[in-house]
Amino acid sequence: MSAVSERIKALIEQSGLSYRSLAKKVGVSNVTVRNWAIGHSEPNREGLEALCEIFGVTPAYVMFGDATSPVQTLVEDGIVSIPHVNAEVSCGHGFLNTDELELIRFVRVSQGFIRRYCPSANVRSLQIMAAFGDSMEPTLREGDAVIVDISEKKIVRDGMYVVRIGEGLFVKRVQVTPEGLRLLSDNKFYDPINTTPESIEVIGRAYVGLCIKRL
């Protein structure tokens, strides 16, 4: 039995699910789930995504036992599976968010989609967060999915970023100025926010907002 199969077996036992029940949820046969649990085979990308969503763990934990790494994007056969996490980024006055992000599900898009809409992003470090509020309309509407490259932690160029100010997460256009940073809303009813790099935490660069139901 491999370390991967031991972790899968432990997750199944902890969940209280039978092999039959888990197989139905994943969309595979009972034999396939049993083979994963006894080490005769390992889950493919679709199976790994399903297990992570059902058990609330990351691919890094299932495959390598790493419970500390953030949930990562999966890339295989031209398909990019982006983790949709439970972060809500404000397009208004800020939304209090939990410190520990949890996986909701994976959203699959093509690599062509990433090249078109997120041309300079690190494809392995993408996460989807939900937008709330109206300050970034018409670019982002409430409920839109914001694709965020969490590897970009410093603002060295103008662009749209997700930033933490105090206990709130915001998505704003950020301009680098001689005095520091200016956070801008696309909705002109909202005033700019002048701040400094030391006063904010950069969560990542935001690339696109689309209705999650369309993804």
User: pLDDT tens across 63-99, in order?
Assistant: 877 665 666 788 878 888 888 888 778 776 555 454 5
CATH number of the CATH domain containing 28: 1.10.260.40
131 and 37 fall within a common domain = no
Question: Of the given ranges (48-52, 59-63, 186-190), which has the lowest mean pLDDT?
Answer: 59-63
E strand or H helix that includes residue 148: strand 144-149
Q: Which residues contact 79 (CB under 8 A, 6 or more apart)?
A: 45, 108, 109, 110, 111
- How many domains does the chain divide into? 2
User: pLDDT tens across 94-113, in order?
Assistant: 554 545 667 788 888 888 99
Bridge partners of 182, per DSSP, are 175, 194
pTM over 0.75: no
Q: Domain of residue 134: give its range.
A: 74-214
51 and 79 fall within a common domain = no
60 and 87 fall within a common domain = no
**pLDDT for 99:** 52
Model confidence at 173: pLDDT above 50:
yes
Q: Evaluate whether residue 69 is within a structural domain.
A: no
42 and 130 fall within a common domain = no
Mean pLDDT for all residues in the chain: 85
**pLDDT for 85:** 84
* DSSP conformation class of 70: P
46 and 115 fall within a common domain = no
Mean pLDDT of 141-149: 88
Cβ(155)–Cβ(181) under 8 Å? Answer: yes
Q: What are phi and psi of 81, to 5 degrees?
A: -100, 105
Burial code (b: 16+ CB inside 10 Å, e: under 16) for 108-142 equals: ebeeebbeeebeebeeebbbbbbbbbbbbbebbbe
Q: Evaluate whether residue 114 is within a structural domain.
A: yes
Q: What percent of the chain has pLDDT over 70?
A: 89
Q: Evaluate whether residue 139 is within a structural domain.
A: yes
Q: Evaluate whether residue 118 is within a structural domain.
A: yes
Bridge partners of 146, per DSSP, are 129, 209
Tell me which residue of 185, 141, 164 sits closest to 87, measured CA to CA: 164
